[in-house]
Structure formats: C-alpha cells, structure tokens
Structure 1
Amino acid sequence: MKVAEGTERLWGGRFRSAPAAELKALSRSEESFFRLAPYDLAGSKAHARELRRAGVLNGGELERLLDEMERVRAEFVEGRLAPSPHDEDVHTFLERVLTERLGATGAKLRAGRSRNDQAANDLRLFLRDKARKLARDVIALQDALVAQAQTHLRSYSTGFTHLQPAQPVVFAHQLLAHAQAFYRDVDRLIDWDRRSARSPLGAAALAGSAICVNPALSAEELGYDAPCENSIDAVAARDHVAEFLFVMSMLAVDLSRLSEEVILWTSRQFRWVELDDGYATGSSIMPQKKNPDIAELTRGKAGRLIGNLGGLLATLKSLPLAYNRDLSEDKNAAFDGIDTLALTLPAMAGMIRTMRVDVDELRRQAPLGFTLATEVADWLALRGVPFSEAHEITGALVRACEERGIELSDVTAEMLVAIDPRLHADVLQHLTLEAAVDARSGFGGTAPARVVEQIDRLKLALARQSAWANEYGGPTC
C-alpha cells in the first residue's frame, strides 16, 4: 500500500493505520535536532561507498548519490532547504529529499543500516567537531588571560584563602591560576576524543549489518580511529555524551569561578579592575551603575550545564540494551551546553582582554590584613626556631599590631624585641611585597621569574592544544 502524500516515514509496512496525531507530535524530532543534517549526510556518503563495495549500488548510482548529497548539504547549510512538518527526523528528511530527486537510487541508501546507528553516528560526529570549536574558544580565553598576565608580572596583589587576605602574590599568578584550570578543561576534551573516536556505522539496529561488512573503511573516511568493537554497545552507549556533558559542566564551573572573581574585582569594595564599557551594562533606574553582566550571566549558566549532565545520567540509569527511544534526550543536553558555551566563552574572552587593572590600588591593598605575617614566621624558622614557636611569636606580633591599629610595615625594632628577643631588626627587610613575592621562588610559585617560566610552558601547551583543535580529519560544519 502506498504511503499517503505528506506522511513519509521510514517504517509502517506492518501497520494497518497511520500514526495518531498525538504520536506524531511526540515522536517528531525537535527543530534543533535537524542541525545534524550535514553530519548525517557525511555518514550517508561513507555508507554509500560501503553499499558500492557490497554491490548494492553500481558506480553510476554511487556518483549520482554523492553529487546530490553534496548539493543537499550546501542547500541546507545556506538555508535554501529545510525539513517539512511531516519529516519525523533528520534521517526521514534527507531520505525523502534524496528519493524525490533520485527516485529508486535514493531509496537504495537505506539498505544495510538503521536509524539506530545513524543517530549514534550523527551525534558522535557532531560532538567531535564541536569539541574542536569549543577548544578554540577556550584557548582564546586563555590567550586573553596570558596577555593580561604578561603585563602584571610585578603588579602586587592580595592572595586570598577563605576570601580573607592571606599572602601577597603577583596579579599575573592569580590570572594564570584560571588559565591552568581551562588548560585542563581542553585536555579533558582531547582525552574524551581519544575514547570517542570509534564509529558506530555498521552496527545497524543492534546486531551488525549483513550488507555493510567493512565498517573500518567507513570509520577511516569519517575521521574515526576504528569502528566500535561491539554492535550492541555502538547503538546503546551514550557514556561519551555524558562525559562530554561533564567536561562542559566542569568548564562552566571554572568559568563561574573566574566570573565570581571578576565580579569581586570590579566592585567598589575591591576597585581592582574596571571593565571596558563595551563589556559592561548599566541600570534602568540608577544612572551611576556599571554592572559585570557577562560574568554574572556566565556564572548563572553553570548551574544549567550541571543540570544537563544530571538529567542525562538519570535518563541512562538502568536503561536496558540495546537502543531505546529515551536516548533521544542526549541531543537536548548536548546542544544546549554547546550553544550556551558558544555565547559565554567569546564574551568572557573579550571582557578579560579589555579590562583595565588598577595597579596602584592592587599594591595599596596587598599588605593590608597582615599578609606579610608568614614572612616573619618563615624568617624565624630559617634561623632554627621550631615552626610551632615561630607561629606563636608571629601571632603575638600581629596581635600587638592590631592593638596599636598599625600594619606590619609600621613595626619598629623595639616592638620586635619586646615581642620576643629572637626577633630583631633584620626581619624588617623581609616585610616588603617584593621580598615576600621573590621568596616564593620554587616551581609553581608566585616569584616573577617562576611566573615567566609558567607563561612560557603554558604557551607551548596551548600551541599543542591548538594543533589538536585545528587538525581534525572528520566532517565539520
């Protein structure tokens, strides 16, 4: 029986009636899912070559299919071709178009495959492509942090623990701490890609294909390292999607931490940083306001990405093998995370790149709150005083300063001796920002010489990550 006009679908031969309107409404892919069309076409090209190897297509049919699929891809990307309301999903949409244009040749393309391995392949290709774009955006933010750090190698600022003044650092070191976190986020993407570079094509519905028996060739064509080892796992697994969501969630958390610091730095209480007017907003009622909305919006979206991860994990929990329609939820979470980061990362990079740091205010605040106290304890320890005693002596010195309403920079030699005879004037030369920072000269420390070395190593690491992001052999869009 011929399917009625406008109700094309990839199934239905054993059904006596058409799908109910409610079923069609629930079953139809969301509009955002059709963005996978270029990746579906890439998989279809590889599948068509496999059908040629199997003898299902002849040489002429293969060429006509490949040429038409390239036209369809271009039309879709340029917005000249779109799915109809009757197309159930991206696979139905593309098969309909190809069949309308090529007749029986287009209809042959379905042989030897299932929507199960197609769906798994489409999203995997999409994520591998977008992982590179995501990495490039993160690297652009890191470049902005590094550029700022290079101008603040001798900008002394307060380092905090518990959001309380702790020890002085150079501001470059603080900025690079965020860059190091983002470096690990990109490294996670690279590590994720190593595990995800396996093609599900050839798995068909779940048992493998009796027609397409050379999946390694399709895998190579699509930029994978190899086909999936197990056809059931190939169509049922979504741990690679969950892991991708984790990486995006971790990245969002790291972005939220930088955002929170920018919000603090730009406050009137801190006055460390002023945002460029192009990367700040005002108030509809208070004319004086200059708000760090980019940082606040980015901070808020972290919760959403964490929620996407939790939602997919809940969907996957106890799901039996092999394919279940529940798995279509993977795309909502992945698309939302990628779209969100595609907005926030460039905005954050621009904000960091253009912000202005008040170096004088940084320096004025750096010694406040007795941040140089550790220098006294270390000086005593280096002269043989047990650190427990050195700690107590220094605490007594801080208490004496608090009682007098002075900072450590105001301490006199007479005060030192009165606190403990083992304290004398020599310690005063260590109670400067320069001396305190330069003393932290071990690997990874805040001494400017070490920070310069850190920048040099980070630049090399970012170059390696950029090479990975730009040297992808799979389909892109």
Structure 2
Amino acid sequence: MAQLWGGRFTKATDQIVYDFNASINFDKKLFEQDVRGSRAHVTMLASVGVITDDEKNQILAGLDGIEADVKSGALQITSEYEDVHSFVEANLIDRIGDAGKKLHTGRSRNDQVALDMKLYTREQVNSTAKALEHLLNTILGIMEENIDTIMPGFTHLQKAQPITVAHHMGAYFEMFKRDVMRLAFINSSMYTCPLGSGALAGTTYPLDRDMTAKLLGFEIPTLNSMDGVSDRDYLIEFLSALCTIQMHLSRFSEEIIIWNSNEYRFIEIDDAFSTGSSIMPQKKNPDIAELVRGKTGRVYGALMSLLTTMKGIPLAYNKDMQEDKEMSFDAMKTVQDCIILFDGMLSTIKFNKDVMAKSARNGFTNATDAADYLVNKGVPFRDAHGIIGQIVLACIDKGIAIDDMSLEELRSYSEAFDEDIFDAISMETCVNKRLTVGAPGHDVMLDEIQLCKDFMKNIPEHFSFE
C-alpha cells in the first residue's frame, strides 16, 4: 500500500479501511491533469528558489517518463496506490530519487485534487460544447432542407396547427443553443486556480500563485484558500447543465419514438441506429432514442448525489468530497455519448413528407385559420369559433377534412364563406401567412436560419476546441 502520510502512524491501516478510503480506481482518470498540475507547480517552485533548476529539470523529466509509460501501457495505474497523486509521486521518487521527494513542497492533496477536478471539468465542458456544436449543425441542416415541409404541430399530443419540420427543429435548436450558452458561462466562471491553497490555510513558502495560475490557463489564483480547496460549485453547475441537456435530448427522443411508431410513420430511423426483436421479425425498434431517454435518470442522479454530499460539509476539505467524482465522471461520459449517438441517428433519419402533410390536413389543423377567415369577413370571433366547431363535428362524422367540403356546404353554416376560403385554409397559406418573429412562415424561417448560422459562427470564441 503506497501512502504519503505514514509518519504519524504506528501500525498499518486495516485493509478494509484502506480499500474503502482509496480512490485510485476512479481518480486515475485525473492522471493527465495531475501531471500537468505538477509540472506547473515545480516550474513555479524553481522560479521562486524553493527548488533548484536542476531539481526542477529532474522532476519534469521524471514526469515526462511516467506520462509516456502510462500512455504506452508500460506502466499501469493499479490499486497498489491509494490515489492518483500517490501513484505519480511514488513512481517519481522511484525513478529520480531525492529530487522527487520535493515535488509536493508547498502543496497539499486538498488543493491538488481541487485543481485536477477543475482542470478535468473544464476539459469536459469544452468537449461537451463541441458535441453540441455538431448536433446544432445537424439540426440546422434539417431546418434548411425542410423550410416548406408541412407537418402538424401539437398541443396536449393532439394536432393543433400546421407548422413545418424546419419550425419544429428550430425549437430544439433554441434548446441546445441555450445549453451551449450555459456551458459558455460555466467555462468562463472557472477562471480561478486553487493550486497553492495548501490544505486550507495556504503555505509559508513564497509561492507565486499568479504564475501557477497562468501556466495552467487560469486568470488568477483563488482568493480564499479555504474556499479554494472546498469549492465544487463549478461542478454542480456543470452537472446541472448536463441534466438540462439530457432533458432536451430525452424530449427529442420521445418525439422520435412517437414519430417512428406505426400509427404516425412521420419518420424512418436508419437501420444503423435501430435494432430488431428476438421473437418478432417485423420489429424495428428505436433503441438509441429509448436509451437516451432512459439514461436521463442516471444523469439527474449524479447532480442530486453531489448536492446532497455538499449540503452538510463544514469548511474546509472533508473526505466526503471524494464522492464528487464517480457519478460525475459517469454523467459527463453519458451525456457526451448520448449527444454523439443522437446526432448520428438524427442525421440519418428519413422524413416521410407526404405522411406528415396528410396528417396535418386531416387533423383539422387549419380550423383556427378558418375561424380567422370568418373574423376577417366581419363575423365576431366567438361566433366564428362556434361555426367552425360545428363544421369540424360534421367533418368527423363524414370522415373528411374541412377543405373537402364544398362551398355550398360551408355556406350552409355561414354566408360569410366565399371562394377564397379554400386558399385561405390551405396548409401552405396557413403556414406562410404567419410572419411574426418566431413563426413558421417561409420568409421568417429564412431569417431565423440566418440568425442560427450567426450563432454557430460565434460558438468557438467561448471555448477551447481542439
């Protein structure tokens, strides 16, 4: 058992206690961040004269060797070590001797792990934003291709008014756009570097914390050492953002599942993103969409776990905070996997345009426009509403749409109807005369798509995409 703190103890830790306390099996994910932080730390220590340049160079060379061997598989991170920090330091001492024992000067595992987690989270924020950028481009492409693809819009899962596929997809573009904006805020808020906070009260060594912060890509050091080691707000904010992303993916997945059903047939999911049944040969199941929807619960669980862990912790560091990692790592990977897989599924979906248009026409989605037509002819709205309601009732009995009625039949309900009614309630007219900002009309959608393109151009300036 490789430990960094044995001097005060007179007997070995019980193996069960050691295993329960150890974090190596999950915090090994922070290996690269730990090495990066150590490089910055020893570079700073040499600059202020706490260690010599020769010792700095020995340590940096040792860290380079350890990193190369881990990446090649020549060196394994095993449960022999308590955590990733002890793994790096123990191997460094084995390789370079006494100089390696100076790596931890002016540093605690408390500020070390605070740094590692912040660096890792920052990288994950950026990679999640990159995945969302790709998904937004996919959605934008569908919008451009389907500006005039008529479909029914729904409220209460009932057909309401005619819209277009572009308009419907635009709603999800706005959702994921807000997600990117949330990530940009979280990314910008992680500008303080906790390294140098020590265990909780700083250190007596003359550390140049500003230098360390700059070397690690931060703007300034944290301004309170107790907060520096115990802050996980940024992680809670990121998990909250991940929950919202996953909620949006789940809503979208629910619609994909509905649209893919035999009753709707609005879309066909590509074979590469579907599975079959072991017993029913006719089945083509939307498993990816269902799994994305199902995995939302585990992402929510990570946020609630961390909020619950943090709610009763006094200042400063407590071992409870070791629980910030496993479920957070899982949530980060889950959401990125879901975005990538959903993006792939969405980009290969085939829209059954004729089925969608027919569904809109046969669902009385033009009833509101028919009532508006009567209002424009001088009929009071409440009367117009009642007249169209009676017409819809008659159409349901006959199994026809409103525009299947003859002018003579329509005039039996109101003399205000004239030949222009049929153009007024065509699906194309119903959609394209809606020209207020945010509506589905053709010209408005062109403007909206341009605004979406402008947003996409500005995404990279908020992140560090590789």
Q: 1:15 aligns with which of 9, 34, 45?
A: 9
Which residue of the partner structure matches residue 73 of structure 1?
Answer: 67
- Give the drift of 1:34: 0.1
Are residues 1:132 and 2:126 paired? yes
Moved more, 9-18 or 249-258: 9-18
In 1: Cα distance, 2:26 partner to 2:174 partner: 34
CA contact 1:50–1:212 (8 Å) conserved in 2: no
Are residues 1:31 and 2:43 paired? no
Name the TM-score, length of structure 1 as normaliser.
0.94
Which residue of the partner structure matches residue 305 of structure 2?
Answer: 311
Which residue of the partner structure matches residue 320 of structure 2?
Answer: 326
- Give the drift of 1:280: 0.9
CA contact 1:54–1:211 (8 Å) conserved in 2: no
In 1: Cα distance, 2:450 partner to 2:48 partner: 53
- Give the drift of 1:427: 2.6
Note closer, same or farther for the CA distance 1:390–1:225 as it changes in structure 2 (3 Å cut): farther
In 1: Cα distance, 2:24 partner to 2:170 partner: 41
CA contact 1:192–1:243 (8 Å) conserved in 2: yes
Note closer, same or farther for the CA distance 1:382–1:222 as it changes in structure 2 (3 Å cut): farther
Are residues 1:151 and 2:150 paired? no
Percent identity reads 37
Q: 1:450 aligns with which of 439, 444, 449?
A: 444
CA contact 1:416–1:425 (8 Å) conserved in 2: no
Note closer, same or farther for the CA distance 1:80–1:396 as it changes in structure 2 (3 Å cut): same
Which residue of the partner structure matches residue 162 of structure 1?
Answer: 156
Are residues 1:357 and 2:322 paired? no
Which residue of the partner structure matches residue 116 of structure 2?
Answer: 122
Which residue of the partner structure matches residue 84 of structure 1?
Answer: 78
Q: Secondary structure at the match of 2:312?
A: coil
- Give the drift of 1:117: 0.5
Q: 2:245 aligns with which of 246, 251, 259?
A: 251
In 1: Cα distance, 2:76 partner to 2:59 partner: 19
Alignment of 1:374-393 (within 5 A): 374-383=368-377, 385-393=379-387
Report the count of equivalent residues.
466
In 2: Cα distance, 1:383 partner to 1:323 partner: 73
Deviation by residue 1:47-83 (Cα, 9 ceiling, x = unmatched): 1122113322111111222222122222223332222
CA contact 1:165–1:368 (8 Å) conserved in 2: no
Alignment of 1:267-282 (within 5 A): 267-282=261-276
For 2:119, give the aligned amino acid: L
For 1:85, give the aligned amino acid: S
Which residue of the partner structure matches residue 3 of structure 1?
Answer: none
Which gives a bigger RCO, structure 1 or 2 (Cα 8 Å, sep 6+)? Answer: 1
Structure 1: tracts of 5 or more residues without a match: 1-6, 473-477
Runs ≥4 residues deviating over 6 A? none
CA contact 2:226–2:316 (8 Å) conserved in 1: yes
Are residues 1:419 and 2:419 paired? no
The Cα RMSD (Å) is 1.7
Note closer, same or farther for the CA distance 1:108–1:428 as it changes in structure 2 (3 Å cut): same
Q: Secondary structure at the match of 1:401?
A: helix
CA contact 2:24–2:82 (8 Å) conserved in 1: no
- Give the drift of 1:121: 0.6
- Give the drift of 1:455: 1.8
Deviation by residue 1:387-416 (Cα, 9 ceiling, x = unmatched): 334333332332333344321111232333
- Give the drift of 1:386: 4.3
Structure 2: tracts of 5 or more residues without a match: none
For 2:185, give the aligned amino acid: D
Which residue of the partner structure matches residue 214 of structure 2?
Answer: 220
CA contact 1:202–1:212 (8 Å) conserved in 2: no
Alignment of 1:340-351 (within 5 A): 340-351=334-345
Q: Secondary structure at the match of 2:6?
A: coil
CA contact 2:25–2:79 (8 Å) conserved in 1: no
Which residue of the partner structure matches residue 4 of structure 1?
Answer: none
In 1: Cα distance, 2:127 partner to 2:465 partner: 12
Which residue of the partner structure matches residue 369 of structure 1?
Answer: 363
Q: 2:278 aligns with which of 280, 284, 304?
A: 284
- Give the drift of 1:37: 0.7
Q: Secondary structure at the match of 1:110?
A: coil
Which residue of the partner structure matches residue 101 of structure 1?
Answer: 95
